[in-house]
Amino acid sequence: MVTVNLHCPRCQSVQVYRHGQNPKRHDRFRGRDCHRVFQLLLTPFNIGMITSDDWGSYGREMPKDKHLTGKIFPQRIERNNLTLRTRINRLARKTICFSRSVEIHEKVIGTFIEKHMFY
* Residue 74 contacts residue 55 (beta carbons within 8 Å): no
User: pLDDT tens for residues 33-51?
Assistant: 888 898 887 666 667 788 8
d(CA 71, CA 20): 44
d(CA 118, CA 76): 17
Quick one: 55 and 93 in the same domain?
no
pLDDT grade, residue 98 (50/70/90)? low
- Choose the final residue of a domain: 69, 93, 110: 69
Number of independent structural domains in the chain: 2
User: pLDDT tens for residues 63-82?
Assistant: 888 888 887 777 877 888 88
Quick one: 98 and 82 in the same domain?
yes
Name the residue range of residue 83's domain: 72-118
Query: The pTM is what?
Result: 0.38
